[in-house]
C-alpha cells in the first residue's frame, strides 16, 4: 500500500512516540472524568466512604441504587425537561438574532459596520457574573422571577455576541458574487438571506447552535439566581442543591445525575462535530 505525503519518512517507533502516545494520553485525560462519574454512580455507599479498604478506581459489587434513587425518587426527569426546553428555546432565539446581526454587519454596506462587529464581540468578554445583578432587577420588574422565561430571555445576552462573531466569519467566506447575481435578477435581501446565504451557511449555523446549546445546558450562575423552586431548576443547579445535605454529599446520585446530564451534549457533538470544526475554521481564517 502506497504512502502519501511525508509518512514514508516517519518510522514506526517515531510514529508511536509522536502520535499514538500523546493521543492516548489526551484520550485518557479527557475520558477519565466520565469513567470516574460512572464507577461512582454504581458503587455501594460503603465503598464510597472506605477508600482505604477498597480500590477507588474499581467497583467490587456494582449497584443501581443511586441511579434508581435519581430517576424515581427525585424530579430528575423534570429537571432534564426544564434544561432541554430552556436550552432549545434560548438557542433558537439567539441564532435568529445572530443571523440577522451578522448578515447586516457583513453584507449591508454602511459606515461603522466593522466597529459594530468588534463591539458585539467585546460584549462577549463581559463576565456573566457582572451582568446577572442588573439582569435580576429586570427579571423581577417584569414578573419573570422563578420562571423558565427568566433564563430563556437572559441567556441570549451571553449567546448572541459570540454567535454573531462566528457567523460573521462564516458569511464572509460565502462569495458576494452570488448575492450580486440575485440582486440583478430582482431578489430581495430577505430572499437572498433565506434562499442563498442560509443554505450555504448550514455548517456555521450548526456550529453556533452547538455552542449556544452547550452554554445554556451547562450554565450555572443565572440558573442558580433566577430559579428557586426545586421542580423548576435545571440539571447543573439541581444536582448540586438537592444532593448535598449540609456537609454530606450523596456522591452516588450526584455523579449519576452529572453523567446522565452530560449525555445529550455528548450526542449533539457526536453527530455534528464535523460541521462544528469546519465552521470554526471558516470563522477563524477570516
CATH at 230: 1.10.3720.10
- Rg of the chain on CA atoms, in Å: 24
Give the range of the structural domain holding residue 27, as residue numbers without chain letter.
7-63
Q: Among residues 31, 48, 63, which one ends one of the domains?
A: 63
- In tens, the pLDDT along 140-198 reads 999 999 999 999 999 998 899 889 988 888 888 888 888 888 888 888 888 888 888 88
- Within 10 angstroms of residue 261's Cβ, the number of other Cβ atoms is 21
Question: Between vectors from CA 109 to CA 275 and to CA 126, what angle results, nearest 5°?
Answer: 60
C-beta separation of 134 from 65 below 8 A: no
Pick the residue with more confidence: 246 or 68? 68
Question: Between vectors from CA 106 to CA 105 and to CA 111, what angle results, nearest 5°?
Answer: 55
C-beta separation of 107 from 187 below 8 A: no
Q: Cα(216)–Cα(155) distance, rounded to whole angstroms?
A: 7
What is the average pLDDT score of the chain?
Answer: 84
- In tens, the pLDDT along 263-275 reads 888 887 777 766 6
Residues 197 and 272 in one domain: yes
User: Residue 110's Cα: distance from chain center in Å?
Assistant: 33
- In tens, the pLDDT along 8-66 reads 546 777 787 778 888 999 999 989 988 999 998 988 888 877 767 777 788 888 888 88
- In tens, the pLDDT along 216-234 reads 999 998 998 899 898 899 9
Residues 161 and 202 in one domain: yes
Residues 267 and 210 in one domain: yes
User: Residue 182's Cα: distance from chain center in Å?
Assistant: 35
- In tens, the pLDDT along 154-166 reads 999 889 988 998 8
Residues 111 and 11 in one domain: no
What DSSP character marks residue 75? -
Residues 49 and 88 in one domain: no
* 97, part of any domain: yes
- Among all chains, which residue has been given the C-alpha cell 453527530? 271
Amino acid at each position: 500500500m502506497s504512502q502519501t505525503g511525508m509518512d514514508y519518512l516517519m518510522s514506526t517507533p517515531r510514529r508511536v512516540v509522536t502520535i499514538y502516545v500523546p493521543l492516548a494520553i489526551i484520550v485518557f485525560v479527557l475520558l477519565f472524568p466520565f469513567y470516574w462519574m460512572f464507577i461512582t454512580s454504581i458503587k455501594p455507599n460503603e465503598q464510597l466512604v472506605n477508600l482505604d479498604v477498597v480500590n477507588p478506581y474499581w467497583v467490587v459489587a456494582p449497584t443501581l441504587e443511586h441511579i434508581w434513587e435519581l430517576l424515581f425518587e427525585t424530579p430528575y426527569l423534570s429537571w432534564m425537561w426544564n434544561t432541554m426546553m430552556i436550552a432549545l428555546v434560548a438557542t433558537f432565539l439567539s441564532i435568529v438574532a445572530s443571523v440577522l446581526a451578522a448578515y447586516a454587519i457583513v453584507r449591508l454596506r454602511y459606515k461603522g459596520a466593522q466597529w459594530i462587529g468588534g463591539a458585539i464581540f467585546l460584549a462577549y468578554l463581559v463576565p456573566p457574573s457582572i451582568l446577572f445583578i442588573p439582569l435580576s432587577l429586570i427579571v423581577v420588574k417584569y414578573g419573570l422571577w422563578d420562571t423558565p422565561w427568566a433564563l430563556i430571555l437572559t441567556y441570549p445576552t451571553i449567546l448572541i455576541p459570540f454567535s454573531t462573531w462566528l457567523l460573521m466569519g462564516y458569511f464572509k467566506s460565502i462569495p458576494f458574487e452570488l448575492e450580486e447575481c440575485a440582486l440583478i435578477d430582482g431578489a430581495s435581501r430577505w430572499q437572498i438571506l433565506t434562499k442563498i446565504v442560509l443554505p450555504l451557511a448550514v455548517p456555521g449555523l450548526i456550529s453556533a447552535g452547538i455552542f449556544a446549546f452547550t452554554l445554556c445546558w451547562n450554565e450555572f450562575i443565572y440558573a442558580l439566581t433566577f430559579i428557586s423552586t426545586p421542580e423548576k431548576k435545571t440539571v447543573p443547579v439541581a444536582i448540586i442543591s438537592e444532593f448535598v445535605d449540609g456537609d454530606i454529599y450523596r456522591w452516588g446520585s450526584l455523579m449519576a445525575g452529572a453523567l446522565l446530564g452530560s449525555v445529550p451534549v455528548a450526542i449533539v457533538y457526536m453527530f455534528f462535530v464535523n460541521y462544528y470544526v469546519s465552521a470554526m475554521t471558516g470563522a477563524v481564517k477570516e
